[in-house]
Amino acid sequence: MKIRDFGVEIWMNAYETSCTYNLAETCVQSLSVGELLDLSGMGQRTLEELLTTRLTYGEIEGSQRLRRAIAGLYEKQRPEDITITNGAIGANALTMLTLVEPGDRVISVLPTYQQHYSIPESIGAVVDILPLREENGWLPDPEELRGLIRKAGGRVKLININNPNNPTGSVMEEPLLRQLVEIAREAGAWLLCDEVYRGLCHQGEPYTVSVADLYEKGISTGSMSKTYSLAGLRLGWITGPRELWEMLSRQRDYHVISVGRVDDLLAAVALESREAISRRNLAICREGGRLLEEFVTGQEHISYVKPKGGTTAFLKYDLPMESAELCRRLQGETGVMLLPGSALDREGYLRIGYCNDPAITKTGLEIFGRWLDEQATHKV
Ligand SMILES: Cc1ncc(COP(=O)(O)O)c(C=O)c1O
């Protein structure tokens, strides 16, 4: 199966291990096992459980304890609706492999995680892009979605959205989600919302409404990586209607068997203590957001739409340089890593992750600012 190169992952693999100041990180500063156990207040009990866990495949579909904890993140989802996968990357891939066939029509927002348009394309679907525009706060325009569905003759199999959005940090609130659901319903389309950053709205209620709770053909994918700072667990999930679970399960047998028992146990512990993790993580996001706002306000070459959720923002810059060249030079000369917009199919922008260790965010931004000033001085 031919598939386009995955721009973000290729860039991250090439540059992530050699940088000094990682401003390309998308996880809220990751937790160690010790920190997780401390935050959970269940350290001793969990350690004992770990030591006596026999490393079989475990419950193939994920433990009841874990699926119950995941169902608790939703209004209407039940443990038996949850499919456990290897990260959200596994969740998105499994959903598309299950639903999409050659010749199908699929719509995906852009910018987003590239899986959402490149996997269906590789299966042989016709993919139409629903662009997120800066002037619209990086939100999708429902009328444009209607137009794309009309263009497809009304026959769209799947619509892929992402909330909160990577890379822009935009958040779709319930009224907009309901509009999109209504349009998907009229077309009879599945609506997949990648909700891997759900729980990270910085002000007010941290959890957006999930499309799985709003729509009978709504699918939510999520994981432990971003909101819960546990990417090393490689644990994600899909939830949606029972009919979907049956189809996913047949496909899953070929790709997953089960996730690790250690991952399953630690994920359950984390979700059962999610209020403590959430308090820690929202504080990191708000502090990072404050540092970023201060930086953008003082920088004449950078502008942005202030992110409302997630861990990333999409910075527009006005230097006469392609984004890949800018990022290569910046990292080579200063050790500061950013992600070029070109890796996300949007030239002229830089993705910044500002919810890593606040000390790294602070120093990285100061160095980036000085570097930008030097570039501007040389230009004159
Ligand atoms: C929008 C989005 N979906 C999915 C993923 C994959 O996450 P995971 O680590 O859970 O596989 C990422 C990772 O960056 C992401 O940003």
Q: Which of 113, 227, 234, 259 to mutate to test the pocket of ligand 1 (most atoms within 8 A of CB)?
A: 113
Residues 262 and 290 in one domain: no
Phi/psi of residue 330, each to 5°?
-55, -45
Residues 251 and 346 in one domain: no
DSSP 122-164: HHT-EEEEEE-BGGGTTB--HHHHHHHHHHTTT--SEEEEESS
Q: Compute the distance from residue 78 Cα to the ligand 1 centre, in Å.
A: 23
Residues 233 and 157 in one domain: yes
The residue whose CA has the least distance to atom 2 of ligand 1 is 113
Residues 241 and 361 in one domain: no
Mean pLDDT rounded to a whole number for the chain: 97
CATH of the domain at 228: 3.40.640.10
**Would you say residue 343 has pLDDT above 90?**
yes
Digit-coded pLDDT (tens) for 220-244: 999 999 999 999 999 999 999 999 9
Atom of ligand 1 nearest to the CA of 197: 1
Ligand 1 binding pocket, CB closer than 6 Å: 26, 87-89, 113, 162, 166, 194, 196, 223, 225, 231, 236
Cα–Cα distance, 100 to 105 (Å, whole number): 9
Distances in Å between the Cα of 260 and the Cα atoms of 10, 38, 58, 248, 289 are 26, 22, 8, 19, 35
Q: Total domain count for the chain?
A: 2
Residues 254 and 133 in one domain: yes
Domain boundary (273, 306, 339) is at 273
Digit-coded pLDDT (tens) for 117-156: 999 999 999 999 999 999 999 999 999 999 999 999 999 9
Digit-coded pLDDT (tens) for 36-68: 999 999 999 999 999 999 999 999 999 999 999
The residue whose CA has the least distance to atom 15 of ligand 1 is 113
Domain assignment of residue 17, given as a range: 7-32+276-379
CATH of the domain at 357: 3.90.1150.10
Q: Compute the distance from residue 88 Cα to the ligand 1 centre, in Å.
A: 5
Q: Is residue 155 part of a domain?
A: yes
The residue whose CA has the least distance to atom 1 of ligand 1 is 113
Angle between helices 33-40 and 43-52 in degrees, nearest 10: 130
Residues 222 and 321 in one domain: no
Cα–Cα distance, 7 to 30 (Å, whole number): 23
